[in-house]
Structures are given as structure tokens and as C-alpha cells.
């Protein structure tokens, strides 16, 4: 769980950093900025989880595993992004500083993502 949490922090930093870059430097709206940032962040967390958190259960079929990771974590992603969008669209402080909304969304999705990663994506293989 600790390694998964560290992976989540790395994903949060990527997500928040890209949202800040997109909104503050590139003048992209906060919703599109999150779509871009979240896509990169989920790939980063998969890589960390694959090579560190759940390395002993990583699949040789990495593309299939990535697809399973994204699919299995879609519930957590939905919770994450629903919180983000709700905050950005309804509370001025979050629309002015969407990185705060990224943090709130990340917390909302983390436990769902851990469960689906451990139980679905990186589950232990059966002995032959």
C-alpha cells in the first residue's frame, strides 16, 4: 500500500504539474488541461506500479496489462475526474487554482484504484 501511495503521489505531481502548465502557461481551459494531464499521469502510475509496486506480478504482455490497468482503474478515474470537474465548475477557488481540485480528485480515486490494481491487474499468477 505504501508503494502504491508513492506511485499515486508521483501521478499526482505529474497530473498537477501538467494542469498548471496547461492552464497557466499554455492558456488551456481547466477541463481540457485535466484530460491531457490525467492521460499522462495514469501512464506514469502504471509504469511505476508495474516496475516497483507490483513488479512480481507484472505481465509479459505489457500492452494488454496497460489496457487492463486503464480499464480496471476507470471507476477510480471516474471518481477522480468527477470530483475535479465538479469543483472546477462550481467553486471559484478551484477554477482559479485547479491544482487543488487535482488533489481532491486524486484522494477520491486512490482507494478504488488500489483495490482494482491489486485484485484485477496485478493479481498473483497461479502456479502451473
Cβ atoms of residues 37 and 15 within 8 Å: yes
Q: How many CB atoms lie within 10 A of CB 116?
A: 20
pTM for this entry = 0.72
pLDDT at 99: 87
Whether 124 shows a pLDDT value over 80: the answer reads no
Instruction: Give a yes or no: residue 51 inside a domain.
Output: yes
Over pLDDT 90: what percentage of the chain? Answer: 42
pLDDT at 126: 67
Q: What is the pLDDT of residues 62-82, one digit of tens each?
A: 999 999 888 888 888 899 889
Domain count within the chain: 1
End-to-end CA distance of the chain: 28
Helices in the chain by DSSP H: which ranges?
2-20, 30-48, 62-72, 74-90, 92-96, 98-116
Instruction: Give the mean pLDDT of the chain.
Output: 89
Instruction: Give a yes or no: residue 128 inside a domain.
Output: no
CA 98 to CA 89: how far, in whole Å? 10
Instruction: Give a yes or no: residue 126 inside a domain.
Output: no
Instruction: Give a yes or no: residue 10 inside a domain.
Output: yes
Domain span including residue 46: 2-121
Amino acid at each position: 500500500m505504501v508503494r502504491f501511495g508513492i506511485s499515486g503521489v508521483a501521478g499526482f505531481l505529474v497530473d498537477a504539474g501538467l494542469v498548471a502548465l496547461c492552464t497557466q502557461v499554455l492558456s488551456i481551459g481547466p477541463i481540457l488541461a485535466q484530460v491531457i494531464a490525467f492521460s499522462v499521469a495514469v501512464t506514469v502510475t502504471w509504469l511505476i506500479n508495474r516496475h516497483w509496486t507490483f513488479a512480481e506480478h507484472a505481465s509479459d504482455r505489457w500492452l494488454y496489462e496497460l489496457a487492463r490497468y486503464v480499464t480496471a482503474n476507470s471507476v477510480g478515474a471516474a471518481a477522480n475526474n468527477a470530483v475535479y470537474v465538479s469543483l472546477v465548475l462550481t467553486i471559484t477557488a478551484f477554477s482559479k487554482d485547479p491544482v487543488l481540485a487535482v488533489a481532491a480528485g486524486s484522494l477520491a480515486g486512490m482507494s478504488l484504484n488500489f483495490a482494482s490494481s491489486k485484485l484485477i491487474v496485478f493479481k498473483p499468477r497461479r502456479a502451473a
